[in-house]
Structure 1
Amino acid sequence: MMTGGLSETKPATPEIQRIVDEVKSQFESRVNRICHIFTAIVYRTQVVAGINYFIKVQDANDDYVHLRVFQALPHENQGPSLVDFQTGKTRDDPLTYF
């Protein structure tokens, strides 16, 4: 994968779910609601000065959101940060840069 480009879409892994779990409270405070379902489905990555994760997350029975999460380089010792998100997505919506 080249720096700056998005990877192919891959099935979510336990590591991606851990990242989603870590930013769930950030998402909930920004949308002002509690999500009882918050399951990572697929993801893409972008290598920058760290990694941007673009993650499709199921947040209700038939509702999905796309998250952009930034993970700083390991030596910076920072957890993942929710940068942006898109609501109103479906399971079939492609995961693209935003």
Structure 2
Amino acid sequence: MMVGGFHAAQAATQEVQEIIEQVRDTVAGQIGDVGEYIAHSFRSQVVAGTNYNVKVHISGDQYVHIKVYVPLPYTHQPPQLKECETGKVESDPIH
């Protein structure tokens, strides 16, 4: 991993699931019904806060890739959805 780069993809954790739950309504507002909405895998990057790129299972063989920024705790700001890519399948790598 390069300094400032993203970590390798890994299986999603409960912490990642909790982060994506905080942007669920925003994702649904962009794509409609999000169905199951279960974090599958993720990559993270520490910046002035943390960027998360997350593969999310929404139904059947359908996935979305979402980018979420989590500000540093002292800011008391919630996670922010930065991007949502639809039309993904389980084998699509997260970038």
TM-score bracket, shorter-length normalisation: over 0.9
Distance in 2 (CA, whole Å) between partners of 1:2 and 1:51 is 16
Give unmatched runs, 5+ long, in structure 2.
Answer: none
Percent identical residues: 38
Give unmatched runs, 5+ long, in structure 1.
Answer: none
Q: What count of residue pairs does the alignment treat as equivalent?
A: 95
Task: Give the 4+ runs in structure 1 shifted more than 2 A.
Answer: 1-4
The superposition leaves residues 36-84 of structure 1 with CA deviations (integer Å, 9 ceiling, x where unpaired) of 2100000000111110000000011110010000000010011111000
1:68 alignment counterpart: 67
Distance in 2 (CA, whole Å) between partners of 1:64 and 1:58 is 4
1:17 alignment counterpart: 17
More strand, by proportion: 2
Query: CA RMSD for the aligned pairs?
Result: 1.2
Shift, 1:95, TM fit = 0.8
Q: Secondary structure at the match of 1:59?
A: strand
Q: TM-score, normalised by structure 1?
A: 0.91
